[in-house]
Structure 1
Amino acid sequence: MIAVGIVGLGKIARDQHLPAIAASPDFTLAAVASRHAHADGVPGYADLETMLSAEPGLEAVALCQPPQVRHAAARAAIAAGRHVFLEKPPGATLSEVDDLARAADSAGVTLFASWHSRFAAGVEPARAWLADKTITGVDIRWMEDVRQWHPGQDWIWQPGGLGVFDPGINALSILTTLLPCPVWLEDALLEIPGNRSAPIAARLAMRTGDGAPVAARFDWRQTGRQVWAITVETDAGTLVLDDGGNALTIAGARRELPSEREYPALYERFARLIGENSSDVDVRPLKLVADAFLTGRRSSTEAFYD
């Protein structure tokens, strides 16, 4: 069993990481570092540095804090010889993630930039079906109510917090897994509330290396039914991934899929990487978001209050 510590015991850690670790045959929760919360049955520390010093048997850490502060924490864990699991997005900037990859390689520890939506039940069957098809177009709709899914999270509206790209990057992580060829951004429109620094909605126009158009719409103002869907048009019919990748329909036929287990699969992947003494640091989804911020047109929209 690999002794792992969680840093940042917020909603995602409680909802996903704690249950996944509790059910894992590979990991045991050894400690938690969090300013405002504690987990039952394990030591709690105010910060990562104190946890690393007090827990010499700790072999790995899962960093679940906001991305703006994750680089320094990952650097400290790597320097202490611990394997590192990065929640998505893996950093606030591409250069930060590149620095961490080099540091982990030099230290001989594993760095895992996790993308949980890639482990949704329908993603791998969809990727396998698309492998020999000609893709003629892709349409992405990732539309949810920010007040329901990110209540009171001010960091997400600040520079580096990504705004609507925090969930939207999940769709981009699936997209870059599904497509057998590269994809790049051609145009973007970011709608930014007058009292915030990050977008509440975005539209992206992309294109695959084979020339197929890819359109994406991300919106945090959705009420009623929440939408997390990717539609792929091919020469053999239409493929639809819905429910964030956990429902799959091909040519009108719904496929039977196993139950959702994204985070257990992430920890299985982390354990394999540690066993292989290797890392997995894919930044393609983050590159597309960075390109949108670099080249996207900006439109001011009404102020948002949580």
Structure 2
Amino acid sequence: MSLFPTTLPPAEAIPLRGGPVLRWGVLAPGRIAGGFVWALHQHTDQRVHAVASRAPERASRFAAAYGIPRVHESYEQLVADPQVDIVYVASPHSEHKRQALLAIAAGKHVLVEKPLALSASEARDIARAAHAAGVFAMEALWSRFLPQTLLIEQLLREGVLGDVQLVMADFGGRFDFDPEGRVFNPALGGGALLDIGIYPIWFAHFALGAPPRVHATGSLTQTGVDAQAALVLSYATGAQALLHTTVLAETPQEAVIAGTHARLQLDSRFFAPSGFTLKAARSDQRLRWTDTSGIHGSEGLAYQAAAVARHIAEGHTESPLHPLERSIAVLETIDAARGQLGASGRDGGSAR
């Protein structure tokens, strides 16, 4: 019988300053890109040197807002810029593969916003191209690099929770319906699963690995993309993951990992800097961990930028923490769920 720990180990954190520095270029400056650049400039030594947009005036406004010295009139010009080491792709999902391949073909490292692509098939194309070119490529799954995630990984590795039997996670938000917008437009990779559902699905993969069986139920919007989905992921060990995502209502946005020795419950917005409670099984013993870094919300994007710089300096072409194989496996789960729901969209491959 495992003894419940008296204290939690100190949380490791990826150093945000003092390490290798990359010169970043940003493709498709929008809200997500703005949050990334702000966090990067505010909390790390990394710097954005160039930006490009299909609308040059938009790129100019973005550059002025974030102190970026170079504005390019096309994506092709940016990826050819010798002052850029790595390209951050922040476009709608439908453009991820094309823009990632553009950067890779120019010999640039690439960080692609989640999801890596519209489907596992497209993600494999990106991985093959990056491997062939010998450049670094990663999906920007920022939650993987937060201090809380590194600590949870340690607890799982040391068997503090025992055998994990159940993972539960949800992420729902209320989005105003816009048939032409990114969330609801099939041509842009719309739908809950690809947009915010990737967080609970990734979390289940993080805790339990890729599932051999996926069962999904849910509903579609009038544009044919998935409005909400409930997933059961089943594993050979008997473990399960119960996941939910929706664009119709705000949900608690919490997550739980339940094992034979203890249960770990993450606070709301489990995918952002927050905290968790570890409770012993069949006992009132519990331990509390809270992120005291002062980094809140999307400021946590800083950790992945610093991690990428260190990975590249160490000679990696993939992240040891979030390899391309994990991104592909998560998209395989999403492919399966979207296929079972009958969701429409340009997915670059068939759902299984």
State TM-score, norm by structure 1.
Answer: 0.86
Report the CA distance between 1:84 and its aligned residue: 0.6
Shift of 1:151: 8.2
- Displacement after TM superposition at 1:205 (Å): 1.1
1:1-306 alignment runs, 5 A limit: 1-25=21-45, 27-34=46-53, 35=55, 36-37=58-59, 38-40=62-64, 41=67, 42-53=69-80, 55-131=81-157, 132=159, 133-147=162-176, 154-159=181-186, 161-165=189-193, 166-179=195-208, 181-194=209-222, 196-223=223-250, 226-245=251-270, 246-251=274-279, 252-259=286-293, 260=295, 262-275=300-313, 276-279=315-318, 280-281=323-324, 282-283=326-327, 284-296=329-341
The answer to which of 71-80 and 259-268 deviates more is 259-268
Distance 1:167 1:239, change over 3 A: same
CA distance in 2, matches of 1:209, 1:241: 25
Percent identity, aligned pairs only, is: 22
SS in 1 for 2:144: helix
Answer 1 or 2: which has greater strand percent.
Answer: 1
* Cα distance in 2, alignment partners of residues 222 and 127 from structure 1: 30
**Are the counterparts in 2 of residues 122 and 241 from structure 1 also a CA contact under 8 Å?**
no
CA distance in 2, matches of 1:122, 1:240: 12
| TM-score calculated relative to the size of structure 2 | 0.75
- Would the alpha carbon gap of residues 287 and 73 (structure 1) be closer, same or farther in structure 2, given more than 3 Å must change? same
Q: CA RMSD in A?
A: 2.3
Q: Deviations over 1:166-196 (max 9, x none)?
A: 11101222221223x44244310131122x2
**Secondary structure, aligned partner of 1:138:** strand
Report the AA paired with residue 130 of structure 2: A
CA–CA separation in structure 2 for the residues paired with 1:236 and 1:167: 30
Distance 2:85 2:179 in 1: 33
C-alpha contact (below 8 Å) 2:173/2:249 kept by paired residues: yes
Per-residue deviation, 1:102: 1.4
Cα distance in 1 between the residues matched to 2:218 and 2:138 = 29
Shift of 1:213: 2.1
The Cα of 1:152 is off from its aligned counterpart by 8.9
Equivalents in 1 of 2:278, 2:74: separation in Å? 48
Query: Deviations along 1:190-232, whole A, 9 cap, x unmatched?
Result: 31122x2311211111113311122112122225xx5211122
Relative distance call for 1:188 and 1:290 in structure 2 (3 A) is same
Residues 234 and 297 (structure 1 numbering): CA distance in 2 closer, same or farther, change over 3 Å?
farther
Q: What are the superposed Cα offsets for residues 263-295 of structure 1, whole Å, 9 maximum, x if unpaired?
A: 111112211222114223132222211110123
Q: CA deviation at 1:44?
A: 1.9
User: Aligned equivalents of 1:208 and 1:129: distance in 2?
Assistant: 21
**Change beyond 3 A, Cα 1:22–1:106:** farther
CA contact (8 A) 2:63 2:71 kept: yes
Name stretches of at least 5 consecutive residues in structure 2 with no aligned partner.
1-20, 280-285, 344-352
Shift of 1:21: 4.1
**What is the SS of the residue equivalent to 2:183?**
helix
Kept in 2: contact 1:134–1:234 (CA 8 A): yes
- Aligned equivalents of 2:52, 2:96: Cα separation in 1: 13
Letter in 1 for 2:290: E
Q: Which amino acid aligns with 1:278?
A: T
Gaps of 5+ in 1: 299-306
1:162 Cα offset (Å): 4.2
Q: Partner of 2:15 in structure 1? A: none
